[in-house]
Amino acid sequence: MGERALVIGAGLSGRALVRHLTARGVAVRLADLKQPDPAPAFPPQVEVLYGPYDQLILEGCDAVYASPGVPWDDPLLEAARTHGLLVSSEIDVFFRECPAPIVGITGTNGKTTTTALTGEVLRQGSRPVLVGGNIGETVLDRLDEITPEHWVVLELSSFQLESVAEPRVRIGAVLNLTPDHLDRHHTMEAYVAAKARLVEFLEPEDTAVLNGADARVRELAGRTRGRVVWFDRHRPDPPMPIPGEHNLMNARAAAAIGRVAGLDDGAIDRAIAGFQGVEHRLELVGEWEGVRWYNDSKATNPDAGQVGVASFAGKPLILIAGGYGSGFDLAAWAEEVRRRTRLVVLIGQSADLLAQTLAGHPIQRAASLEEAVELAAAAARPGEVVLLSPAYKSFDMFQSYEDRGRRFKGAVRARHGVTA
């Protein structure tokens, strides 16, 4: 870990690293381009630097730990490598120190639902289960509670996987691979390569749980030494209570993982049948005046947005969409939206582009999410669905997709006189 470490980023991951390193006697310098609001409290021995910095910040350090938001090819990290410094991350430290077998789950869409669902499935067995990674609390803060008897289930993003020196898991699941985060990875090949690391480090006694219905995922079978299980072929189909064909695929992945872990189909079915879903992914906010409102704020790219819209096939639909991002292929999304929706309310930075893409389709524009809720409520009829499924990231108007989703739920409830 080194005697003095530089931690880049004061978010959840960076704060977890500060706690972990200082508890082990490492002197820590923390840097972030801007101060979080509210500003976190750190022990007095931690040197905290907010604002612009350059390579001089590496002086006196022998290790650098980067938060997931820092590109792995960032010039500062490249300079650190040139000077022989250890370059690591929160999830890398966790992988090195975790005493329990890990189930790793990645893919472009469906990771959060499948990770949460897998946790519920594995809890049907006799071993304790911890779920984390790119979902919920930082796992580094929970390292001390993990024993060799645990199952640890991790949702792993491409950003996290590229930062782990050896992402060694017992079971590695790849759900799907479609273009995403190309502003960070630059090419689809680089993005796939980051995801592929989850199965490239498997040993022959480990298992790769792959989606044979996805051409890019199918090719990963040739990049692993582990045993391959095709989860799209899992039968019997589990009784998934959440709508959408994609959620059935998520349930098949969780069921396949459960079977690899030694659970029987009865226990797997009980876990999946009782699953209540995850926040911000086709989350039912409520029903008022015969209209059902759903929060799908985690749909941060057009593929996820298309899946969200398709989940309500056969039901009249009003869609709220738009946000931050560029370079997406919108053709398939636009075709699905035209076919499935009666009205689209556009928000955010991409609203102009989406208006052009959907030319001729019923559209309204809103300057805020709250205004979008008002417009949707005014247009909605009994028996219809209003869906927030942005198909874009949130950073133009919100701190995160979680912030966006909670703002949406608050606006919907306020619109209908619900205070809680």
H/E stretch holding 135: none
The single-letter code of the amino acid at 81 is R
Is the pLDDT score of 384 beyond 80? yes
At 115, the pLDDT band (50, 70, 90 cuts) reads: very high
Say what the pLDDT of residue 180 is: 63
Assess if residue 420 is contained within a domain.
no
Quote the CA–CA distance of 226 and 66 in Å, as a whole number: 30
Same domain? 160 vs 296: no
Same domain? 98 vs 10: no
Question: How many domains, in total, are found in the chain?
Answer: 3
Domain boundary among 273, 297, 319: 273
At 136, the pLDDT band (50, 70, 90 cuts) reads: low
Q: Indicate the pTM of the whole model.
A: 0.78
Domain boundary among 51, 68, 88: 88
Kind of pairing, strands 291-295 and 283-288?
antiparallel
Q: What is the pLDDT of residues 260-313, one digit of tens each?
A: 999 999 999 999 999 988 889 889 899 999 999 999 999 999 988 998 999 887
Q: Is 334 helix (H, G, I), strand (E, B) or coil?
A: helix
Same domain? 84 vs 164: no
Quote the CA–CA distance of 87 and 166 in Å, as a whole number: 13
Is the pLDDT score of 182 beyond 60? no
Alpha helices in 126-264 (DSSP H): 158-162, 182-185, 188-200, 215-219, 245-260
Domain boundary among 273, 293, 319: 273
Assess if residue 278 is contained within a domain.
no
Torsion of CA 11, 13, 19, 25, to 10 degrees: -120
Same domain? 251 vs 123: yes
**Phi and psi at residue 171, to the nearest 5°:** -130, 125
Mean pLDDT, range 88-93, rounded to an integer: 95
At 184, the pLDDT band (50, 70, 90 cuts) reads: low
Instruction: Give one DSSP letter per residue of 253-282, joined into a string.
Output: HHHHHHHHTT--HHHHHHHHHT----TTSS
Please tell me which residue, 251 or 180, carries the higher pLDDT value.
Answer: 251
Same domain? 290 vs 155: no
Q: What is the pLDDT of residues 272-285, one digit of tens each?
A: 999 988 889 889 89
Quote the CA–CA distance of 133 and 58 in Å, as a whole number: 27
Look over the chain and give the mean of its residue pLDDT values, rounded to a whole number. Answer: 92
Same domain? 319 vs 241: no
At 98, the pLDDT band (50, 70, 90 cuts) reads: very high
| CATH number of the structural domain spanning residue 69 | 3.40.50.720
Say what the pLDDT of residue 311 is: 87
Is 328:351 a contact under the CB 8 Å cutoff?
Answer: no
Same domain? 162 vs 32: no
Same domain? 219 vs 132: yes
Is the pLDDT score of 37 beyond 80? no
Same domain? 66 vs 206: no
DSSP summary character for residue 62: S
Mean pLDDT, range 101-124, rounded to an integer: 94
Say what the pLDDT of residue 208 is: 98
Same domain? 210 vs 344: no
Say what the pLDDT of residue 187 is: 87
> For the chain, what percent of residues have pLDDT higher than 70?
97
The single-letter code of the amino acid at 298 is K
Say what the pLDDT of residue 278 is: 81
Assess if residue 204 is contained within a domain.
yes
Say what the pLDDT of residue 36 is: 79
At 347, the pLDDT band (50, 70, 90 cuts) reads: very high
Same domain? 367 vs 391: yes
Same domain? 301 vs 386: yes
Say what the pLDDT of residue 420 is: 60
Alpha helices in 56-212 (DSSP H): 75-82, 90-97, 111-122, 158-162, 182-185, 188-200
Say what the pLDDT of residue 243 is: 76
Q: Give which of 83, 82, 96, 79 is closest to 163, Cα–Cα.
A: 96
Mean pLDDT, range 162-177, rounded to an integer: 95
Determine the structural domain holding residue 393 and report its residue range: 283-415
